[in-house]
Amino acid sequence: MQKYEDKHMLIKWLAIGFLVLLALVIIVTLYVTGTEWQQSQVHRDFVAEQQTSTDEVGKSAVIVFSRSGSTSVLANHIAAKQNARLIEINAKDYDLGVPGWLSALADARNHVADITPENLDLTEFDTIYLGSPIWLYSPAPPIWQVVQNNDFSGKHVVLFNTFNSKFEQTFIDDFKKLVIQKGAISFEHQYVKRGRMGAQLSVFEMLSVFDNKYPG
């Protein structure tokens, strides 16, 4: 009888533990995706205010994939500074919201993704800036796919990333290898750490940190 009650108690506590864990996962998911959505609105408004005419572009292009707009803000800033053509890459699988966030987590280390546009004509450019967020310490899959799909022969390539806390150099080294395989003649990595969610740099602070690090 005692044994039966002990087993019953154990099952009860396991069930409570599971429900608490499930509630925590749901709260974290809603907090993260809600914060991303709020940030995307701020980033979108910021970009809309900053947007200037890009009719007369030089020999540089800025190609960016951004999910919640942070890297997109930086891309617009670089494009304005370098008088460069700005090209946004879309990846529907990683749209804002819970399904997109879960897909991003699941695919974070992949080097393939469904992107639009699939191919780009880069012949008129000497320098190509490639921007993306960091996902699980590695540049997000869509920017790897951009490199796979295009010819970088004779180009100077600059990878730029925004992230919250950390990336791993080994993934950047792999990215560099791929870029060189695709014909690039130089590679540089530029980045801004925004800080943990809830205590992040403002958009102005992020751009100012970037400009101080990379004055060119």
Ligand X SMILES: Cc1cc2nc3c(=O)[nH]c(=O)nc-3n(C[C@H](O)[C@H](O)[C@H](O)COP(=O)(O)O)c2cc1C
H or E element at residue 103: helix 98-107
Of residues 14, 34, 29, 120, the one with CA closest to residue 129: 120
Of residues 157, 159, 147, the one with CA closest to residue 113: 147
Burial (CB < 10 A; 0-12, 13-18, 19+), residue 96, is middle
Contact set for ligand X, span 74-113 (CB under 6 A) = 101, 104-105, 108
Interacting span for ligand X (CB under 6 A) from 16-24, 48-56, 62-70, 81-89:
62-70
Q: What is the CA radius of gyration of the chain?
A: 21
Distance, CA of 91 to CA of 95 (rounded, Å)? 7
Decide: is 29 part of the binding site for ligand X (CB under 6 A): no
Decide: is 42 part of the binding site for ligand X (CB under 6 A): no
CB of residue 125 vs ligand X: minimum separation in angstroms? Answer: 22
Cβ atoms of 73 and 47 within 8 Å: the answer is yes
Kindly tell me which residue out of 136, 170, 202, 204 binds ligand X, with binding defined by CB under 6 A: 136
Q: Which is nearer to ligand X, 60 or 133 (CB)?
A: 133
Decide: is 165 part of the binding site for ligand X (CB under 6 A): yes
Kindly tell me which residue out of 61, 62, 134, 159 binds ligand X, with binding defined by CB under 6 A: 134
Q: Which is nearer to ligand X, 104 or 158 (CB)?
A: 104
> For residue 148, what are its two tokens?
């796979």
Kindly tell me which residue out of 60, 62, 63, 66 binds ligand X, with binding defined by CB under 6 A: 66
Contact positions vs ligand X (CB under 6 A): 66-72, 101, 104-105, 108, 133-137, 162-166, 194
